[in-house]
Amino acid sequence: MSYAAPTREMLFTMKEIGGLDAVLAQPGFEEVTPDLVDTILDEAGKFAAEVLAPLNQPGDRQGNRWEAGTVTTADGFKQAYASFCETGWNGMPASAEFGGQGMPTLLSTAVLEMWKASNMSFSLCQMLTLGAVEAIAHHGTDALKARFLPAMVEGRWTGTMNLTEPQAGSDLAALRTKAVPEGEHYRVSGTKIFITWGEHDMAENIVHLVLARLPDAPPGVKGISLFLVPKFLVDDEGRLGARNDLVCASIEHKMGIRASATAVMSFGEGPGAVGYLVGEENQGLACMFTMMNHARLNVGLEGVAISERAYQQARAYALDRVQGRTLGREGESDRTIVGHPDVRRMLMDMKARTEAQRALAYYAAGQMDRARGHADAGQRAAAQALVDLLIPVVKGWCTEGAQLVTATGVQVHGGMGFIEETGAAQHQRDARITTIYEGTTGIQANDLIGRKMARDGGAAMHRLIAQMRSDAAALAGHDDALIGTLRGSLERGVQALADATEGLLALGPREAAAAAVPFLWLAGTVIGGWLMTRAADAATTQIASGSADADFLNAKRGTALHFALHLLPHAAALREVVLHGAASTLALGAGQL
């Protein structure tokens, strides 16, 4: 169950798809030289492969142990976490103002992919901590920032997001946790469920960000506020004090990511947990929204990462397992299953999907850097509009794709895939949560067709379609047959997306909602095909200019071709589903289902 970070592929995708050179030329990244980028990728790859990957399967088997409110993590996790923090990986993506290294989102995206691929359970702790850091940095008072952020960036204290309650999952308007003002702080009481890394033994303190309602708050989402509620109270000098009034009531027994504790948190069983307001009263959801793009990019990236891990594992198995005669290769001594055309098909599907997902995630990450730091305000605004449009696609499509990739990984293993020993099943189980948390696929699709398309009349999507069309047109003069095939496939895909976009915008709200997930699939498939075409074009140029890396570059071309011939054609079918499928979805009454 080894893992090798695909640094060559990551660097290529960062450069050719994410626009790394342009990002590094932005103010603030002067010290991030190409050499430093290489070193960071190499060192992170080593940590992922040597420290985190070996803990993945044992952690899944052992899980966490809950006893009287305390949680003991799986063997080796505590030491790995200490070393992760000591070597500075925890704060790498965070702002230098609070002790982080302020790296570009594009670079930290590649590094985070390694943590997620090598050990998704472990990686969640940093992901939640950095999410909390971002929320406090944007919305907290200077005093809160000074008191909490340096220790969180360092990793001495970890962070959580406490949104979900038994009756409030996708619909946060239903949440009931209370916060009552008391002098300089508030007293928080209520029950939160499914809190990732809500309790553990890896850090001195846990800083919970909790959504709650004030006594006089308006109903619904307009009455939600955000509070910082530490496990141990902290004085002005940052010293830990008394235990706060909160406890981990239990942890869940779950299908995947078993080495990360998923906690039921009980706040205020006594006088109420001391909490500090983050942002304005009743603006809690708006505060969460400012970090939503990063959080959703990160979960989309989990889809990429777990796909990569499953692919590596399936490839290794296929190159080793001997079974049957391979058609057309009867005379050859190598009888491993990789010779069977159908096994090749599975591996190529996995590879093409994984690389297209990565291209989409890194493209969005590069646009995030552009939106924040480009010298031109118009470019910043255009990049932000593109990020807003793409994020639900990154989250929804990369995680749904991971279901297919990890399931195919099991299939490549045959019966051994169904046996836990190989680890292939764990990847499928771990991947399963990614389409559920941080907004289910249905919620992403509603966001895409509602806030991101209906609100601007489809303007951002029209701009993206125009860009894809002009890129395809620019390939017209190419005398390379493979590029010609990619171009034709891309043009058909973009036309399907354009037709579906117009059709969707004309549907009534209920019909549009019924078509939303197929539309998200369509958008992901076409954008993925577009970016793979770009990658193949760049690879072709590099080969022509005599690059020494012809093996990798030719493989990139071949993978793009597979995407164009096997996956992009699904766009035509999805167009039909979007345009005509709502009728059957809604035809039966609830009692007839």
For residue 576, the minimal CB distance to ligand FAD (Å) is 22
For residue 166, the minimal CB distance to ligand FAD (Å) is 8
Q: Which is nearer to ligand FAD, 116 or 534 (CB)?
A: 116
Nearest to 344 by CA among 498, 92, 101, 558: 558
Does 162 participate in binding ligand FAD (rule CB under 6 A)? yes
Window contacting ligand FAD (CB under 6 A); options: 67-75, 160-168, 372-380, 532-540: 160-168
For residue 80, the minimal CB distance to ligand FAD (Å) is 20
First to last CA, the chain: 42
Residue of the chain from 254, 335, 340, 566 that contacts ligand FAD (CB under 6 A): 254
Window contacting ligand FAD (CB under 6 A); options: 159-167, 202-210, 374-382, 469-477: 159-167
Dist CA 111 CA 194 (whole Å)? 26
For residue 446, the minimal CB distance to ligand FAD (Å) is 5
Q: Which is nearer to ligand FAD, 483 or 514 (CB)?
A: 514
Does 163 participate in binding ligand FAD (rule CB under 6 A)? yes
Could you tell me if 118 and 49 are in contact, meaning their C-beta atoms sit under 8 angstroms apart? Answer: yes
Binding mask 92-111 for ligand FAD (x = CB under 6 A): --------------------
DSSP-derived pairing of the beta strands 185-196 and 262-267: antiparallel
Could you tell me if 160 and 97 are in contact, meaning their C-beta atoms sit under 8 angstroms apart? Answer: no
Q: Which is nearer to ligand FAD, 3 or 437 (CB)?
A: 437
Q: Which is nearer to ligand FAD, 167 or 541 (CB)?
A: 167
Other CB atoms within a 10 A radius of the CB of residue 395 amount to 35
Whole-Å CA distances, 561 to 17, 308, 358, 489, 554: 17, 19, 16, 9, 11
Window contacting ligand FAD (CB under 6 A); options: 60-68, 161-169, 231-239, 382-390: 161-169
For residue 588, the minimal CB distance to ligand FAD (Å) is 17
Dist CA 317 CA 416 (whole Å)? 10
Whole-Å CA distances, 266 to 189, 199, 250, 449: 8, 11, 9, 36
**236-240: long-range contacts, CB 8 A cutoff, minimum separation 24:** 236/143, 236/147, 238/147, 238/150, 238/151, 240/204, 240/205
Could you tell me if 172 and 445 are in contact, meaning their C-beta atoms sit under 8 angstroms apart? Answer: no
- Classify 265 as helix, strand or coil: strand
Q: Which of 438, 491, 511, 576 is catalytic?
A: 438
Q: Which residue is nearest to ligand FAD (CB)?
A: 169
| 230: Cα separation from own chain's centroid | 26
Residue of the chain from 195, 494, 507, 553 that contacts ligand FAD (CB under 6 A): 195
Residues in binding contact with ligand FAD, number by CB under 6 A: 19
- Contact set for ligand FAD, span 434-473 (CB under 6 A): 436-437, 440, 442-443, 446
By CB atoms closer than 10 A (0-12, 13-18, 19+), residue 530 is: buried
Does 196 participate in binding ligand FAD (rule CB under 6 A)? yes
DSSP 437: S
For residue 195, the minimal CB distance to ligand FAD (Å) is 5
Residue of the chain from 262, 326, 533, 540 that contacts ligand FAD (CB under 6 A): 262
Q: Which is nearer to ligand FAD, 169 or 558 (CB)?
A: 169
Binding mask 390-429 for ligand FAD (x = CB under 6 A): ----------------------------------------
Let me know if 438 is a catalytic residue: yes
Q: Which is nearer to ligand FAD, 15 or 296 (CB)?
A: 296
For residue 161, the minimal CB distance to ligand FAD (Å) is 4
Does 170 participate in binding ligand FAD (rule CB under 6 A)? yes
Q: Which is nearer to ligand FAD, 88 or 169 (CB)?
A: 169
Kindly state the helix (H) or strand (E) to which residue 526 belongs, with its residue range.
Answer: helix 509-544
Dist CA 143 CA 140 (whole Å)? 8
- Contact set for ligand FAD, span 308-367 (CB under 6 A): none
Q: Which is nearer to ligand FAD, 264 or 425 (CB)?
A: 264
HEC secondary structure over 368-416 = HHHHHHCCCHHHHHHHHHHHHHHHHHHHHHHHHHHHHHHHHHHHHCCHH
DSSP-derived pairing of the beta strands 157-162 and 205-212: parallel
Residue of the chain from 398, 433, 512, 561 that contacts ligand FAD (CB under 6 A): 433
For residue 431, the minimal CB distance to ligand FAD (Å) is 12
Dist CA 410 CA 402 (whole Å)? 12
By CB atoms closer than 10 A (0-12, 13-18, 19+), residue 53 is: buried
For residue 592, the minimal CB distance to ligand FAD (Å) is 19
Q: Which is nearer to ligand FAD, 264 or 527 (CB)?
A: 264
> Which residue's entry shows tokens 């589903």?
577
- Indicate which residues carry an active-site annotation: 438
Residues that bind ligand FAD in the complex, under the rule CB under 6 A? 161-164, 169-170, 194-196, 254, 257, 262, 433, 436-437, 440, 442-443, 446
